A and B are shown apart, each in its own frame.
Chain A
Amino acid sequence: KAGVTQTPRYLIKTRGQQVTLSCSPISGHRSVSWYQQTPGQGLQFLFEYFSETQRNKGNFPGRFSGRQFSNSRSEMNVSTLELGDSALYLCASSGPGQGIDGYTFGSGTRLTVV
């Protein structure tokens, strides 16, 4: 079956702009989580959506937001971009057995802010 699809793969944006990233989970998975990965900080949890509702949220400023649609596809938005937002953004989907099966990650979107 198809894996987790993230688009776009690469983005270059200018400080102050906003960006929207997209994630399509594995068919049947209703939970979508977003992570930011940087060399110094590792994987940092942004938020999790389940059935169109934000279920968990990490410690990121309000510039980072997300949503989930009825087909479980999710988008993440970052407004007023800062240089420090440059990172690999990973989406992970999980099904009902996520405590057992873990996550499946997408290929990620590499965002560069200049």
Chain B
Amino acid sequence: QKEVEQNSGPLSVPEGAIASLNCTYSDRVSQSFFWYRQYSGKSPELIMSIYSNGDKEDGRFTAQLNKASQYVSLLIRDSQPSDSATYLCAVNRKTGNQFYFGTGTSLTVIP
């Protein structure tokens, strides 16, 4: 079982819709969770982090964490074509202080 799993997609949504990206992780002691966005040919950039159960909102982005079910999700409201990218979920365990990445979900926002 992989440490972090994501649906690879591709996920296509129309402009203005809500895009929902999901991620599950295997280790219950995982403590912090991150979403990175990676445009084609570019390096990943951090867009959201979350540590506590519940929702965290930042502009059009909302991260949701459910530790009991071991999943993290990212909602993008009012999706724009510029949101078209691969979204990587990452999990940090305090033990070993190491990050584990999912393989990413490719999102396309259709104008």
Name A residues whose Cβ lies closer than 8 Å to a Cβ of B: 31, 33, 35, 41-43, 45, 48, 55-56, 88, 90, 98-108
Contact = CB atoms under 8 A, between A and B. Distances in A.
Contact of B43 (A41, A42, A56, A107): A107
Interface residues of B, number: 24
A3 to B, nearest CB: 10
> 7 closest pairs, A vs B, by CB?
A42-B103, A105-B43, A43-B101, A102-B34, A102-B46, A108-B43, A99-B32
B31 A102 contact: no
Contacts of B92: 98-99, 102
Contact of B42 (A35, A102, A107): A107
Secondary structure class of chain B's binding surface, majority of residues: strand
B98 interface: yes
Interface in B36-57: 36, 42-46, 49, 51
A103 B51 contact: no
Which among B32, B88, B90, B100 has the highest number of chain A CB atoms within 10 Å? B32
A106 to B, nearest CB: 6
Interface string B68-111: 00000000000000000000101010101111111110000000
B4 to A, nearest CB: 10
